[in-house]
Amino acid sequence: MERKKRILGWIGVSITVVFSSIWAYWGAFENFHEGWYSTSVWENIFMLFFQYLLFTIIFVVLALIILKWKKIGLVVHILTGAFCVWFFSGASFSVLGLMIVIPFAALGLIYYYGNPEPLKWARRLIIFVPLIIVIAISIPQGIKVSQRIDDGDFGIRIVEGNDVTLAWAPRGPGWPDRGVSWEEAQEICKYLSEDGLTIMETEQNIWRLPTVDEAVRSMLLHGENSGGVWNASEERATYEKTPDKESPLWDVNSKIIYYWTADTSIQDVNQAYIIVYDGGVYDKRKIDGYGYLSFRAVKDKTETDQPNNNSQSSQLICSKFYTPFALDEDRDSYSSIEIRSMDGFGAYRIGHVHAGLDLKADYTEPVYPIASGQVADILYSFPNLAVLIKHNLPNGAQVYSSYVHVADISVNVGDIVDENTQIARMLNKEELKKAGLNTPHLHLEIRKNMDDDGKGSYLCKTIEELDKYFLDPTPFLKEKLND
């Protein structure tokens, strides 16, 4: 009987090691493939453990618990499986059922009735096999990522070589840092202005999506053409050297790793080809627009397009700051901020910590940028409509200012603005009532980055979390404005 328990227990250990190792292998590679894009090393490490290695950790921890406390471990296995069914309800059975729920349930019963003696060796295998896999993959992948070229130039880039010369759009509507469907990408390209920074009211037909052949031939590694060739009949791209996610085609600190191409799949007219930063070509449904899939528009090079030259937004340095209201008697004085100040940075709210500074305003009062910059994003979720503007500081650093609880947004992503550009207005009485707000006020944020996709405003629970994404607007403006 004891021998059967021992065999059953080691079957459980073997299953745990196999599944935790599979997830460790997948997680370590995916972490450096679609992850590891934040400017913060600690945030990248957090994503590694709590996003990409989460199931590895769960398999290991559940096994260690049930080896120590059988009844408690069995209950935890069952509850974990039930939670996964609920939380990942949209996942396919091949992933949710075969790789998560069924293994959890089976392991709980196997460990409960089994006894893998000696326990110390069971624990060692459960812990160290997936750990070795993670280390073996992460070290070379980490070295590869650390060698990526990031020149910080997000302007129009001329990429030439391998019989292709194209101008690639600057950061803005023609190169958005968000998920975009194929149809939306095609529509944006039609209306994109000559400089690639503005969506016009009428079709311009200057920019377009690159063909698969153009995209493959344009791919680079460390600034040199990768020698890509596209075989259309076999739907396969080959390269002399594997390209990587780096300047001038890709943003190292963006989660975008796929670009749409102009070509429809030869297998399905409802799908189009995408290209991965490492040169892979696949087909995706044209309606897909998940967070890692976007586009970068191209056009034929003209005399006005200068290769490797910073865009207008990159050259624009904001050396002077102002209040966001033109009605202020002295817009460059901090006293104007003090008069309007309400709730400050870090105040505890229901479910989150206040990420900005609330400034009193009049109904429908116009709102202006606090400094020159470029519109980086616009959020259209009422009542939290917001405009986010990127500012280049004289010391080379970048910050973002965010203007929340506004209406009638009058700018577009990619627009160059200054302190005299009206970007929106404050809510009127009806809008304020609909929003559930008592007083018309501007929620002003100063952001360090956009790694949180704009969600940190209401997801940060502690001051420590705020510090990852935000600066306190009060001392920031006190330093930038006159006394």
Q: What is the pLDDT of residue 314?
A: 46
Do 336 and 401 lie in one domain? The reply is yes
Do 131 and 165 lie in one domain? The reply is no
Q: Give residue-wise pLDDT tens across range 314-338.
A: 446 787 899 999 888 788 898 888 8
Mean pLDDT of the chain: 88
Residue 33 lies in a domain: yes
CA distance 357 to 377: 20
CA distance 376 to 312: 14
User: Model pTM greater than 0.75?
Assistant: no
Do 268 and 365 lie in one domain? The reply is no
Do 110 and 141 lie in one domain? The reply is yes
Collect all residues with Cβ–Cβ distance below 8 Å to 247 and sequence separation of at least 6: 149, 150, 151, 152, 153, 157, 223
Do 381 and 425 lie in one domain? The reply is yes
Do 183 and 293 lie in one domain? The reply is yes
Instruction: Look at the chain and report how many structural domains it folds into.
Output: 3
Residue 437 lies in a domain: yes
Q: What is the pLDDT of residue 78?
A: 86
Do 270 and 328 lie in one domain? The reply is no
What strands lie across the sheet with 366-367, from one edge to the other? 366-367, 424-426, 406-407
Q: What CATH number corresponds to the domain at position 357?
A: 2.70.70.10
Q: Give residue-wise pLDDT tens across range 3-41.
A: 888 999 999 999 999 999 999 999 999 999 998 888 788
Q: Is 421 in contact with 411 (CB distance < 8 Å)?
A: yes
Q: CA 399 → CA 9, 103, 195, 344, 410, distances in Å?
A: 55, 46, 23, 19, 22
Among residues 121, 146, 171, which one ends one of the domains?
Answer: 146
Weakly modelled stretches of the chain, pLDDT under 70: 90, 302-316, 381-383, 451-459
Residue 214 lies in a domain: yes
Do 278 and 213 lie in one domain? The reply is yes
Residue 332 lies in a domain: yes
Collect all residues with Cβ–Cβ distance below 8 Å to 259 and sequence separation of at least 6: 210, 215, 274, 275, 293, 294, 295, 296
Among residues 146, 177, 209, which one ends one of the domains?
Answer: 146
Residue 360 lies in a domain: yes
Enter the DSSP assignment of 353: E
Q: How many CB atoms lie within 10 A of CB 82?
A: 13
Q: What is the pLDDT of residue 381?
A: 67
Q: What is the pLDDT of residue 307?
A: 46
Q: Is 273 in contact with 281 (CB distance < 8 Å)?
A: yes
Do 473 and 358 lie in one domain? The reply is yes
Q: What is the pLDDT of residue 452?
A: 59
Sign of torsion over alpha carbons 219, 221, 224, 227:
negative
Among residues 93, 112, 146, which one ends one of the domains?
Answer: 146
Residue 152 lies in a domain: no
CA distance 254 to 44: 12
CA distance 238 to 8: 48
Do 229 and 352 lie in one domain? The reply is no
Do 120 and 173 lie in one domain? The reply is no
Residue 307 lies in a domain: no
Q: What is the pLDDT of residue 127?
A: 96
Residue 165 lies in a domain: yes
Do 326 and 473 lie in one domain? The reply is yes
Print the domain residue range for 328.
316-480
Q: What is the pLDDT of residue 382?
A: 64
Strand 236-238 to 229-231 pairing: antiparallel
